[in-house]
Amino acid sequence: MAFKRNRRSPLAAIIVMAAGLALTGGGYAAATSAVEAAKPVSAIATAEQVTEGKKLFAANCASCHGKKGEGSSGSNVVPSLIGVGAASVDFQVATGRMPGQASGPQLEKKKPQFTAEQISQMAAYVASLGEGPAIPTDAMVAADGDSANGNTLFRINCAMCHNAVGAGGALTHGKWAPALDGVEARHVYEAMLTGPQNMPVFNDANLSPKDKKDIITYLKYVEETPSMGGYELASLGPVVEGLFTWVFILGFIIAITIWLGAKSN
Amino acid sequence: MSNAVAEKKKPGFAAGAANYLDERVGAGGILKEFGRKVFPDHWSFMLGEVALYSFVVLLLSGTFLTFFYQPSMEFVIYDGSYGPLKGTEMSIAYASSLDISFDVRGGLLMRQVHHWSALLFVAASGLHMLRVFFTGAFRKPREINWLVGFMLFVLGMAAGFTGYSLPDDLLSGNGLRIIDGMIKGIPVIGAYGSSLLFGGEFPGEYIVARLYGLHILLVPALILIFIAIHLFMVVIHKHTHYSGPGRTDSNVVGYPLMPVYVAKAGGFFFIVFGVIMLISATFTINPIWNYGPYDPSPVSAGTQPDWYIGWLDGALRLAPSHWEFVAFGGTWSMNILIPMIVGIGFLVIVAAYPFIEAWVTQDKREHHVLDRPRNAPTRTGIGAAGVTFYAVLWAGAATDLIATNFKVSLNQVLTSMQILLIVGPIVAYIITKRACLALQRKDREIVLHGRETGRIVRLPHGEYLEVHEPLGEFEQWKLIDFKDYQPTLARPNSKGKITINARIRAAVSRIYFEDRIIPVTQTELDAARHDHPEAIEAPVEQEAKQITQ
Ligand code: HEM
C-alpha cells in the first residue's frame, strides 16, 4: 500500500479521515462527490488549525504569495491562492514543490519541508481564504477501481505528456511532465484536480471521481506488477532498446569473437 | 556390386547420403570446390555472419509467431489474461499479439526473440557495412556485392518496419500515421498513394493484412535471394584479407572452409543464438500491452520507431516546421519533402560510393588486400562524415528523451541538432582526415627509425643515443604495404579537348589525394638501415621470435 509511506502523522490522518467520515455519514458515497466534499473539510478545520496555518503561511509563503495569499502580478508573477483549495496546497507542499525556489522553466520537486500536520494547517488556512477543492479521502484514492477503464482514460488524457506507462516526457522550452512512478495516490488525485503548472486541470465534470480512482488503480497496477518480459529498460521505448542492441548485444558478441580469436592464436 | 558392399564396412548415413547426391547431381564436385574456399580469420569478418545468424533466428521465431498471429483489423472485446485491458475494444491483430504474449506458452519469449534479433540483424548488417567501407573491401571486383549488401540493409529496414506495425498497438499505429503523412506530403500523387496503400482513408481496414503479406512473404523472400547472391559472390571473389607478408592481391590466407571453418561457423551460430536467447529471456522489448490498442487520437510521449528507422524520424523532427507554403493551388510540405529527399539522397550516395571512388582513382585493378583506414585518409574522412550525419539524424529521433533525461530544453536540443547536422560532418571529415595523415606520418617514422625504446646508451666516445628498436618484417609490411594514389590531372582526350568530366574528376581527385603521405620505399628503407647501424642486430632476434611462435 502506498499509504505506508505516508508522511502525515497518524493524528493528522485521523483528523482528515474523521472529516471525511463526518461529511459523508461514514459512507462510501464520498467517492462520487468530491466537489461537495470541498466545503465541509475546510468548514470543520478547527479554528486553531487555521490560526496555526496562518502563522506558518506568513512565515514561509507570504513573501511570494502575499500576506493574504493574494499573489502578486509584479515582475515575478505569483498566483493568488484564493480559491485554489486545500488540495492544491497539500499537493504543492507535500510533494516539495512549495515553497517555491526560483529556478528554470518549471518549479522542481524537492524534499518536503513541512510535517504533515503543518501542511494540513496551511491547507486549512488557504481553504479558509476561498472555496476550492478539498483533499480527497483515502477511500477516494484507494487503488481498487477498474484498471481497464483507467488504462483507457490514462491513454487518452495523460499519455501524451506522461508516456503510456507514466515514464514521463518532454514538453516545450525545458518543461517536462514528470514520471509518475512512486507518486502517492492522493497526490495523483490532487494533481488531476488542481492541474499544477503546465498540467491541465481535470475537474470532476471532465473526469468523474470514479474515473480518477480508476486512473489511480491503473497507475498503481503498473507500479506494483513486476514487468512481464524481464527487465524493463526504464520504459523509455525503442530508443533505449536500440542503444542496448548496439552497445550490449553487438558489443557482447564482438567481445566473444575477439576473445575466441585471441585464444586460438 | 553386392559383393563389394558385403566385403566393405557398411557406410554411415552421412557418407551414404553424400554418395547418393554425388552420383546424381555431382554434389561432390561442388562441395569440393566450396570446401577448398579459404576464409581468413579476423573478428571484423564475423559481423556479416552475426547478421546471417540473426536472420536464421528471425526465420525460426517468425514462423512460430505465424502460428498464432492473426492479421485482421476487425474489432473484438479483449478477454485475455492482461487485467488492465480486459473489456477494451481492439483489433484482432492486437488481441492475438497480446495472446501470444500472455496466453501462448513461450509466446512472449518468442516475440522478444523475434524483436531483439530483428534489431541485432540490422545493427550487425550496419556494422558489417561500415567494416567493408572503412577497409575499402568494396573495390573492384566487389562493387556489385556492395550493392547487394546495401539492398540487404534496406530490406532489413523494410522487414523491421512492416513487422513493427503488425501488433497494431498505439506505438506502431503512430508510426504508420507518420508514414501516411509522409506519403501524403508528396506533391500530386501523395493523396492517391496513401489511399492506395491503406485502401481508403487512414487507417482503414486493410493495412495490417497487407503489411503482413509483405512481412512474411515478399520481404523475407527477397532477403533470402539477396543473401544467396551475396554469399555466392563472396565465394567467387574469395574473401579479402588484411595486409601482411605473403598476403597479396592474388591470394587468400586463412583456413579452408571445410572442415575448419564450417565447424567454427557452426559453433558461432550457437553463440549468436545463445546470446539472443539470453537477452530475450531477461530483457523486455516492445511491451505492447503498455501501449494499448491503436486509436488515431491519443499519442503517447516517448513515441519512437525502432532504431533503424530512427534516422528518418529524426530527419522529420529536425526539419523546421515553417517550411510549408501554399502555391499553385496546393500545399507544399517542404518540411516533409526535404527530409525525404535528404534520406533518399543519403542512401543513394552510400550505394554509389564504390563507383564514385573508382571514377576518381581510375583504378581498374583488382583488390583483395584491405586498406588500413588511415591509409585512405579521404575515404575514411568521408566515412566519418557520413557516420556523423547519420548519428545526428538518429539522435534527432530522441530529442524528447535527451531533453527530459539531461534536463535541457527540447527547443534548444532541436536547434543544436540542426546546427550539428550541418557542422558535425564537416568537422568530422577534417579531424578524421588530419588524424589519418598524422598516423601515417607516425607509421613512416616508425618504419624508418624504429620504435622509441626510452633506453639511452652512452657510446665509448661519450655520445648519447636513444636506442630505436626496429620493426619485425611482419609489422613493417603492415605499415608500408599500401598504394599511393596521386591527384590526376585533367588531360586532353584523343580529340585534344579537355572534357568537363575530366575537369571535375581532376578537381575531386585533388581533394582526395592532394594531401598524402607517400609509403616508404625500399631505397629509403636501405638508407635508414644504414643510418642506424645499432638497430641491425635486433631484427634478427625479432624475426627469430616470430618464427618460433
Ligand atoms: C527479415 C527479417 C525480419 C525482421 C527484421 C522482422 C521484424 C519484425 C518485428 C520488429 C516485428 C514486431 C515484433 C513485436 O514486437 O511484436 C515482427 C513481427 C512479426 N514477424 Fe517478423 N521480421 C523478420 C522476418 C520474419 C519472418 C521471416 C516471419 C515469418 C516467417 C516473420 C513473422 C512475423 C510475425 C507473424 C509477426 C507479428 C507477431 C507479433 O506482432 O506478435 N517475421 N517482425
For residue B29, the model assigns a pLDDT of: 59
With 50 as the cut, is the pLDDT of residue B248 above it? yes
One domain, residues B212 and B336: yes
**Number of structural domains in chain A:** 1
Please indicate, yes or no, if residue B395 is contained in any of the structural domains.
no
Domain interval for residue A97: 40-135
The contacts of residue B71 (CB under 8 Å, 6+ apart) are B93, B166, B208, B209, B211, B212
One domain, residues B25 and B72: no
Model pLDDT for residues B94-149, shown as the tens digit of each residue: 999 999 999 999 999 999 999 999 999 999 999 999 999 999 889 888 899 999 99
Please indicate, yes or no, if residue B390 is contained in any of the structural domains.
no
Closest chain B residue to A254 measured between Cα atoms?
A: B43
- Residue closest via CA to ligand 1's atom 8 equals B163
One domain, residues B24 and B46: no
Domain interval for residue B503: 450-548
Q: What is the pLDDT confidence band of residue B433, given thresholds at 50, 70 and 90?
A: very high
Where is pLDDT greater, at B218 or A35?
Answer: B218
> Which among B117, B283, B408 is the top mutation candidate for probing chain A, defined by the most A β-carbons within 10 Å of its own β-carbon?
B283
Q: What is the pLDDT confidence band of residue B540, given thresholds at 50, 70 and 90?
A: very low
Residues with CB under 6 A from ligand 1: B 55, 58-59, 62-63, 65-66, 69, 97, 100, 111, 114-115, 118, 121, 156, 159-160, 163-164, 166-167, 215-216, 220, 223, 286
With 90 as the cut, is the pLDDT of residue B65 above it? yes
Give the DSSP letter string of A118-181: HHHHHHHHHHHHS--PPPPPHHHH-S-S-HHHHHHHHHHHTHHHH-TTS--EE-STT-EEPP-T
Q: What is the pLDDT confidence band of residue B250, given thresholds at 50, 70 and 90?
A: low
The amino acid occupying position B363 is D
Phi, psi of B353 (to 5 degrees): -55, -45
One domain, residues B148 and B19: no
Please indicate, yes or no, if residue B435 is contained in any of the structural domains.
no
Comparing A246-260, B92-106, B223-237, B287-301, which segment has the lowest mean pLDDT? B287-301
For residue B538, the model assigns a pLDDT of: 40
Where is pLDDT greater, at B344 or B372?
Answer: B344
Please indicate, yes or no, if residue A114 is contained in any of the structural domains.
yes
Q: Which of A236, A243, A256 sits opposite B271 (nearest CB)?
A: A256
One domain, residues B312 and B346: yes
Q: What is the CATH number of the domain that holds A122?
A: 1.10.760.10
Please indicate, yes or no, if residue A95 is contained in any of the structural domains.
yes
Q: What pTM was estimated for this model as a whole? A: 0.81
Number of inter-chain CB pairs under 8 A, A vs B: 189
Nearest-angstrom CA–CA distance, A125 and B165? 54
Comparing B44-58, B83-97, B105-119, B322-336, which segment has the lowest mean pLDDT? B322-336
The amino acid occupying position A130 is G
For residue B2, the model assigns a pLDDT of: 42
Nearest-angstrom CA–CA distance, B410 and B523? 60
One domain, residues B327 and B222: yes
The CA B121 to ligand 1 mean position distance, Å, reads 12
Q: Is B532 exposed, middle or buried (CB count within 10 Å of its CB: 0-12, 13-18, 19+)?
A: middle
Average pLDDT score, chain B: 83
Is residue B338 within 8 A of residue B222, CB to CB? The reply is: no
Question: How many angstroms away from the CA of A77 is the closest CA of chain B?
Answer: 22
Q: What is the pLDDT confidence band of residue B1, given thresholds at 50, 70 and 90?
A: very low
Place of cell 472529516: A19
Complex-level ipTM: 0.77
One domain, residues B356 and B282: yes
Q: At what angle do helices B410-449 and B307-318 cross, to 10 degrees?
A: 120
One domain, residues B151 and B185: yes
Domain final position from B356, B371, B386? B371
With 80 as the cut, is the pLDDT of residue B549 above it? no
Please indicate, yes or no, if residue B416 is contained in any of the structural domains.
no
Is residue B441 within 8 A of residue B517, CB to CB? The reply is: yes
The contacts of residue A3 (CB under 8 Å, 6+ apart) are A138, A184, A185
For residue A76, the model assigns a pLDDT of: 73
Please indicate, yes or no, if residue A263 is contained in any of the structural domains.
no
With 60 as the cut, is the pLDDT of residue B9 above it? no
Please indicate, yes or no, if residue A125 is contained in any of the structural domains.
yes
The contacts of residue B303 (CB under 8 Å, 6+ apart) are A237, B171, B174, B175
Record the cell numbers describing residue A65, joined without a space.
504569495
Q: Does the distance separating the beta carbons of B404 and A176 come in below 8 Å?
A: yes
Q: Is A189 exposed, middle or buried (CB count within 10 Å of its CB: 0-12, 13-18, 19+)?
A: buried
What are the distances in angstroms from CA B7 to CA B1, B11, B256? Answer: 10, 11, 34
**Number of structural domains in chain B:** 3
A169-170 and B75-77: which strand pairing?
unpaired
Please indicate, yes or no, if residue B436 is contained in any of the structural domains.
no
3-state secondary structure (DSSP) of residue B285: coil
Please indicate, yes or no, if residue B526 is contained in any of the structural domains.
yes
One domain, residues B315 and B462: no
Q: Does the distance separating the beta carbons of A261 and B43 come in below 8 Å?
A: yes
Please indicate, yes or no, if residue B488 is contained in any of the structural domains.
yes
For residue B208, the model assigns a pLDDT of: 92
Model pLDDT for residues B469-527, shown as the tens digit of each residue: 777 777 777 777 777 777 877 777 778 788 888 888 888 888 888 888 877 877 777 77
Please indicate, yes or no, if residue B212 is contained in any of the structural domains.
yes
What's the average model confidence in pLDDT over B426-438?
Answer: 95
B377-B381-B384-B385 Cα dihedral, nearest 10 degrees: -170
Comparing B77-81, B419-423, B521-525, which segment has the lowest mean pLDDT? B521-525
3-state secondary structure A59-107: HHCHHHHCCCCCCECCCCCECCCCCCHHHHHHHHHHCCCCCCCCCCCCC
Residues of chain A falling short of pLDDT 50: 1-8, 23-43
Phi, psi of B249 (to 5 degrees): -70, -5
Is residue B157 within 8 A of residue B119, CB to CB? The reply is: no
> Whose CA is closest to A210, among A265, A136, A160, A260?
A136
What's the average model confidence in pLDDT over B264-270?
Answer: 81
